């Protein structure tokens, strides 16, 4: 199979290439795309020899083109090139692993082109769930979840019509047990030091605020076509049970593994077969006790904000996502206290009027409006 990886230099991109390198007989790397880390992308091209590479955030350069050409790789520049490689008939499988709204257009392009889309870029589904799932359906594309919780639910689903509820597990992040009054002063480094997973900075902060789980509730709503009231969240600090499905007969089916993204990545890559992932097997007798607790709304206000944006519908989830991206960027840059992330999102949601998410341009307009208002909220709080 020919595989294109969007977001190849990131945490998911690198884990995907690790799994792929274990199965040279099954996969050939067709194209690799990144934002601006040209040295890292060049190294990946040296190892995997794709026919095309993309630097979405870099101006065209003859010197860079020549460097990539050494490995037989044609280098393209700019955001449109992401859609170009997502559509290219020389790949059948696209790993959508760009972080944030920047991944929406290329993920949608891959779905419209009927590809098998391995979906890590949850923000695309949050912003445009109905559009993306409809496009995939129309084009005969398959959307396979890579997010560990959704991949777990997918693995546990045998009879969708008999599901009572699904339970998404959340680790609770680095501040699960910190005193509430200490949260105002936490630093980006502390927020990114996740107890169980090593991930990119944006999703690490999302895990600390639990907006990550909020985004995942919205992601699950569209992936599995379930009413929001049947999607629950529990905190499970050990990150061993990746999610559960409860059936109407009372059976609860769970998927367990060590916390290693190569497990869901290998599942999505190999599906419906099973392939080796390189992850360390779970040693049941050496395992700590597994515990579960209800999320505290005061500690994690972002979770409720996500449920309410899902309930409002239309472009509200796209506005939620945009405000979150702006607030997280500002927090990472030292311009916004951690506890103000939720406030900026809440103020932005209140300020933007509801609108239907009829097409991609309506979603992108809401994204832009959300970003503008959130940036003003950040400025007002910094003053």
Question: In this complex, which beta carbon is closest to Mg ion, that of residue 196 or of residue 230?
Answer: 196
* Residue 214 touching ligand NAD (CB under 6 A): no
- The interface partner of residue 301, options being ligand NAD, Mg ion, none and the CB cut-off 5 to 8 Å by kind, is none
- The interface partner of residue 243, options being ligand NAD, Mg ion, none and the CB cut-off 5 to 8 Å by kind, is none
Under 8 Å CB-to-CB from 363, ≥6 apart: which residues?
A: 104, 127, 128, 131, 315, 318, 357
* Residue 147 touching Mg ion (CB under 5 A): yes
Q: For ligand NAD, which residue of 117, 125, 163, 199 counts as binding (CB under 6 A)? A: 199
Nearest Cα to Cα of residue 30 among 69, 88, 81, 82: 88
* Residue 9 touching ligand NAD (CB under 6 A): yes
Compute the distance between CA of residue 164 and CA of residue 282 in angstroms, rounded to an integer: 28
Question: In this complex, which beta carbon is closest to Mg ion, that of residue 73 or of residue 148?
Answer: 148
Cis omega (within 30 of 0) on the bond before 262? no
Q: Please, what is the minimum distance in Å from the beta carbon of residue 149 to ligand NAD?
A: 8
337-376 per-residue burial string, b: 16 or more CB within 10 A, e: under 16: bbbbbbbbbbbbbebbeebebeebebbbebbebbbebbbe
Q: For ligand NAD, which residue of 20, 81, 91, 102 counts as binding (CB under 6 A)? A: 102
Q: For ligand NAD, which residue of 57, 72, 354, 356 counts as binding (CB under 6 A)? A: 57
* Residue 120 touching ligand NAD (CB under 6 A): yes
Determine how β-strand 163-170 pairs with β-strand 241-247. antiparallel
Q: For ligand NAD, which residue of 3, 4, 7, 76 counts as binding (CB under 6 A)? A: 7
Extract the tokens encoding 136: 């995939």
Question: In this complex, which beta carbon is closest to ligand NAD, that of residue 97 or of residue 234?
Answer: 97
Which positions lie near Mg ion, rule CB under 5 A? Answer: 147-149
Q: List residues binding ligand NAD (CB under 6 A).
A: 7-13, 34-35, 37, 56-57, 82, 97-99, 102, 120-123, 147, 197, 199-200, 203, 261
């Amino acid at each position: 199979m020919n595989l294109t990886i969007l977001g190849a230099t990131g945490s998911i991109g690198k884990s995907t290439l690790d799994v792929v390198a274990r199965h040279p007989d099954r996969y050939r790397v067709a194209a690799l795309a990144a934002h601006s880390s040209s040295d890292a992308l060049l190294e990946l091209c040296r190892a995997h020899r794709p026919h095309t590479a993309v630097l979405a955030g870099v101006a065209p350069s003859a010197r860079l083109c020549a460097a990539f050409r050494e490995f037989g790789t044609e280098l393209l520049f700019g955001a449109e090139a992401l859609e170009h490689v997502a559509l290219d008939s020389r790949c059948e499988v696209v790993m959508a692993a760009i972080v944030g709204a920047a991944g929406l257009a290329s993920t949608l392009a891959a779905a419209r082109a009927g590809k098998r889309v391995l979906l890590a870029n949850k923000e695309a589904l949050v912003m445009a769930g109905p559009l993306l799932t409809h496009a995939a359906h129309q084009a005969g594309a398959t959307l396979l979840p890579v997010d560990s919780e959704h991949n777990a639910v997918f693995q546990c689903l045998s009879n969708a019509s008999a599901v009572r509820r699904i339970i998404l597990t959340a680790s609770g992040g680095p501040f699960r047990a910190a005193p509430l009054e200490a949260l105002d002063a936490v630093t980006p480094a502390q927020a990114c030091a996740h107890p169980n997973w090593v991930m990119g900075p944006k999703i690490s902060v999302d895990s600390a605020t639990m907006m990550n789980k909020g985004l995942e509730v919205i992601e699950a709503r569209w992936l599995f076509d379930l009413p929001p009231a049947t999607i629950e969240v529990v905190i499970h600090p050990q990150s061993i049970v990746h999610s559960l499905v409860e059936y109407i007969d009372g059976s609860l089916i769970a998927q367990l593994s060590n916390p290693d993204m190569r497990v869901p990545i290998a599942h999505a890559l190999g599906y419906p077969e099973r392939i080796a992932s390189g992850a360390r097997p779970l040693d049941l007798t050496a395992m700590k006790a597994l515990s579960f607790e209800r999320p505290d709304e005061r500690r994690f206000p972002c979770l409720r904000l996500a449920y309410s944006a899902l309930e409002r519908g239309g472009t509200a989830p796209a506005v939620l996502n945009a405000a979150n991206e702006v607030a997280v960027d500002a927090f990472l840059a030292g311009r916004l206290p951690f506890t103000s992330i939720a406030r900026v999102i809440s103020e932005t949601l209140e300020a933007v009027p509801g609108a239907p998410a009829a097409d991609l341009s309506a979603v992108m307009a809401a994204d832009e409006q959300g970003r503008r208002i959130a940036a003003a909220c950040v400025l007002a709080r910094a003053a």
